[in-house]
Amino acid sequence: MQIAIASGKGGTGKTTLAVNLSVLLAEKFAGSRQKVLLIDMDVEEPNSGLFIKGKLQQQEVKYRLVPEWDEDKCTFCKRCANVCEFNAIAFLGVSVLVFPELCHSCYACSDLCPEDALPMVQHRMGETKIFSLNNHLQFIESRLDIGVEQATPLIEQTRKLIKEQYSGNEWFTILDSPPGTSCPMMEAVKDADLVILVTEPTPFGFHDLKLAMETMDELEKHYAVVINKYGIGNDDVLNYCNEKQIPIIGKIPNLRAAARLYSAGKAMVDAIPEIRVEIENIYQQILKLTEAET
Partner 1 sequence: MKEIVVLSGKGGTGKTSITGSLAALGAENLVLADCDVDAADMHLLTEPRVQIQEDFYSGKTALVHTEGCVHCFKCQQVCHFDAINVIDGEFVVDPIECEGCGYCYQVCPTHTIDMKKRLAGKFFVSKTRFNNTLVHARLGIAADNSGKLVTKVREEAAKIAGQEKVDYVLVDASPGIGCPVVASLTGANLVVLVTEPTVSGLHDLSRVYELVSKLKIKTVCIINKADLNEDMAEQIKGFLQEHNIRLLAEIPYDIKFTEAITIGKTVVEYDEIGIGKLLKESWKTVKQILNDKN
Tell me which residues touch partner 1 (CB under 8 A).
8-12, 15, 42, 44-45, 47, 50-51, 83, 85-86, 101, 104-108, 111-112, 144, 146-151, 178-184, 186, 202-204, 207-208, 211, 214-215, 218-219, 232-234, 256, 259-260, 262-265
Q: How far is the CB of 83 from partner 1 (least distance, A)?
A: 5
Q: How far is the CB of 56 from partner 1 (least distance, A)?
A: 18
- Between 28 and 104, whose beta carbon lies closer to partner 1? 104
- Between 47 and 281, whose beta carbon lies closer to partner 1? 47
- Between 162 and 212, whose beta carbon lies closer to partner 1? 212
* Dihedrals phi, psi of 102, to nearest 5 degrees: -95, -20
The DSSP line for the chain is: -EEEEE-BSTTSSHHHHHHHHHHHHHHHTTTSS-EEEEEE---SS--GGGT---EEEEEEEEEEEEE---TTT-----HHHHH-TT--EEEETTEEEE-TTT-----HHHHH-TT----EEEEEEEEEEEEEEETTEEEEEEEEPTT----HHHHHHHHHHHHHHS-STTEEEEEE--SBSSHHHHHHHTT-SEEEEEE-SSHHHHHHHHHHHHHHHHTT--EEEEEEEETBS-SHHHHHHHHHT--EEEEEE--HHHHHHHHTT--STTT-HHHHHHHHHHHHHHHHHHHHH-
- Between 65 and 133, whose beta carbon lies closer to partner 1? 65
Integer angstrom CA distances of residue 258 from 13, 25, 86, 178: 11, 19, 46, 22
Q: How far is the CB of 44 from partner 1 (least distance, A)?
A: 4
* Dihedrals phi, psi of 129, to nearest 5 degrees: -125, 140
Q: How far is the CB of 231 from partner 1 (least distance, A)?
A: 10
- Between 71 and 164, whose beta carbon lies closer to partner 1? 164
Q: How far is the CB of 135 from partner 1 (least distance, A)?
A: 26
Q: How far is the CB of 151 from partner 1 (least distance, A)?
A: 5
- Between 219 and 248, whose beta carbon lies closer to partner 1? 219
- Between 92 and 146, whose beta carbon lies closer to partner 1? 146
Q: How far is the CB of 144 from partner 1 (least distance, A)?
A: 7
